[in-house]
Amino acid sequence: MPPDLSARIAGVPFPLCIMNASGALCMTEMELLELGSSQSGAIVTKSMTRVPREGNPEPRYYQFGLGSLNSMGIPNLGYRTYAELLPELRSFGKPVVASIAGFSLEEYVHVAEHISDAGPDLVEVNLSCPNVVGKPQIAYDFEASAAILKALRPVVRQPMGVKIPPYLDLALHEAMARVLRECRVDFLVAINSIGNALVIDPDREEAVIRPKGGLGGLGGACIKPVALANVRVFHQLLGPEFPIIGVGGVESGTDVFEHLLAGARAVQVGTAFMKEGPGVFPRLRDELAGVLDAKGYGAASQVVGKLKVL
């Protein structure tokens, strides 16, 4: 009998513990419907704002040997379009995770209230986009983060989670953990890309992407150790019952297994999904099943948080 690869996040069942990361091939109606018909464990939308956004100028995405670099700038269709799509997306029989973003507390509340009315299964609050010119990542300002989450909690009727940037100091992990507890957040998505990296094309003697002077968010295989560390620390700080979705460097079933060991109940896939398309989900599913079977685990849930530190 194959291992059980399902997951439960804030009481919501996921048929597979592997899904797309917000921002990866999930902006347009066609992309979202393709996710619905794929073998992804959920449909995670692009982070939506009050009005549609074109995002940063091209070229704004680049894949290279160690991962990917992006400076998208939150291009999206606006919350009204995603709200209209929700009934069709829910018809696929898997959770729909609505990712929301904003440029002010008022915008966050407006988008959250209206998208909550439309009925997603979960709401992911993006406090960590590193690629909006002139706007710092909110999640490094713990007072501002708390103010937004406290304002959102009464208007979001579904389980509400937060997508965070990478924290590189334990004092920052502890500060955000306090915010999550105080604001009654239901789950955590860790991590977004590492902001403001630079990749150079030595042949052309120029940066590989255009916006922000060539700086962009670093993702893919090279950030997996940072992602695992954030998952592990928050698992320890928030306790084994608090659901964490790990993101960063998931390119194989072994990578998924490592995120589970660190404390994630499920994972999101960005760079590998951008590279392979929907076929990445059954590949990762089968590879994870093989890893679990070889190690004698009957379910993905049995691995969560089992990391040994010698």
pLDDT digits (tens, 9 = 90+) for 251-306: 999 999 999 999 999 999 999 999 999 999 999 999 999 999 999 999 999 999 99
Is 136 part of a structural domain of the chain? Answer: yes
Q: Hunting for tokens 């954030």 — which residue is that?
A: 230
Is 65 part of a structural domain of the chain? Answer: no
* Geometric angle at alpha carbon 138, from 135 and 143, rounded to 5°: 130
- Which of the residue ranges 23-27, 49-53, 61-65, 134-138 would you say has the lowest mean pLDDT? 134-138
CATH of the domain at 32: 3.20.20.70
Q: Tell me how far apart the alpha carbons of residues 36 and 91 are, in angstroms, rounded to a whole number.
A: 9
Reply yes or no on whether 129 is catalytic: yes
User: Could you say which of 17, 26, 129, 222 is catalytic?
Assistant: 129
pLDDT (0 to 100) of residue 135: 67
Q: Tell me how far apart the alpha carbons of residues 121 and 114 are, in angstroms, rounded to a whole number.
A: 14
pLDDT (0 to 100) of residue 108: 97
Q: What percent of the chain has pLDDT over 70?
A: 98
pLDDT (0 to 100) of residue 201: 97
Is 92 part of a structural domain of the chain? Answer: yes
pLDDT (0 to 100) of residue 309: 87
Q: Are 232 and 213 in contact (CB under 8 A)?
A: no
Q: How far are the Cα atoms of 23, 74, 101, 202 from residue 220, in angstroms, in the given order? A: 13, 19, 22, 21
User: Which domain covers residue 124, as residue numbers?
Assistant: 7-55+75-201+220-302
DSSP notation for 138-180: GGG-HHHHHHHHHHHTTT--S-EEEEE----SHHHHHHHHHHH
Is 209 part of a structural domain of the chain? Answer: no
pLDDT at 133 over 70: no
Is 236 part of a structural domain of the chain? Answer: yes
Q: What is the pTM of this model?
A: 0.97
- Give the chain's radius of gyration (CA, Å): 18
pLDDT at 60 over 80: yes
Count of domains for the chain: 1
Please choose, from the candidates 166, 188, 185, 173, the residue with its C-alpha nearest in 3D space to the C-alpha of residue 264. Answer: 188
Is 225 part of a structural domain of the chain? Answer: yes
Q: Tell me how far apart the alpha carbons of residues 42 and 7 are, in angstroms, rounded to a whole number.
A: 11
Is 63 part of a structural domain of the chain? Answer: no
Is 214 part of a structural domain of the chain? Answer: no
pLDDT (0 to 100) of residue 134: 63
